[in-house]
Amino acid sequence: MTRHFMAASLFCACLLFVAPVWGDEHPLLDGMMDSFDALTNYTTLLDSEGEDGRNRIIYTYKKPGFIRMDFIRPHKGARLIYNPTENRVSLRPFSTKLLTLNLSPDNRLITDPKGHTVDRSDIGALIRSAMRHAKEGTVTSLPPEVVETHLCPRLMIESEKVSYLLWIHPELGLPIKVLKSYTGGSIETVFLRNLIVDGPIDDALFEH
């Protein structure tokens, strides 16, 4: 009896997983890219934690690539604006307007230890990176989990150097939680809280 129950339980558990796909496209992954391609703008509270501690940033994006970051933690009051037309970053490191720096997006002052740059910090860049690693490794669908009241499909992408675990918003089709792990053992966790797509955004928000 116990043996039959264990066998049945194992069978049911296996049904929750989809066998890994080697180097092929995946509907959820392709769907995220389609969702990003279809949007015009989005805002979110980026809540991340990794080797450099916890970060909280109000992040605003508008195509063709305008980005604004309003820092809550650390550097509360700092503001960063990226202009894709000029390929320049305006950084106001303090809450006052006394000092504004004009930088290139790859300036070491605004590049994190993993080499992430502001011009490649949007959701589209994340999805494209995940797709590149998917071509080198495997893609696996996992059972859905709840993130902030949303029952989110999950996708595991594993390559030789990096693994992604993505929780995908069921209506928006975009990731709202990301766990990225490296072969060296370091882990980054990012929540995209209160993600709003195609809301009203004033162009003046991206002015220096």
Domain locations along the chain: 18-206
The one-digit pLDDT tens for each residue of the chain (208 residues) are 333 322 333 223 332 334 455 555 689 999 999 999 999 999 999 999 987 788 999 999 999 999 999 999 888 999 999 999 999 999 998 877 778 999 999 999 888 777 789 999 999 999 999 999 999 999 999 999 999 999 999 999 999 999 999 999 999 999 999 999 998 888 999 999 999 999 999 999 998 7
- Amino acid identity for residue 162 in this structure: V
Do residues 3 and 11 make contact, with C-beta atoms less than 8 angstroms apart?
A: no
Could you tell me which of 93, 92, 121 has the C-alpha nearest to residue 105? Answer: 121
**Treating both helix axes as pointing N-terminal to C-terminal, what angle do 27-38 and 123-136 enclose, rounded to 10 degrees?**
160
Instruction: Convert the pLDDT of each residue in 123-175 to its tens digit.
Output: 999 999 999 999 999 999 999 999 999 999 999 999 999 999 999 999 999 99
CATH number corresponding to 18-206: 2.50.20.10
How many other C-beta atoms can be found within 10 angstroms of the C-beta atom of residue 175? 28
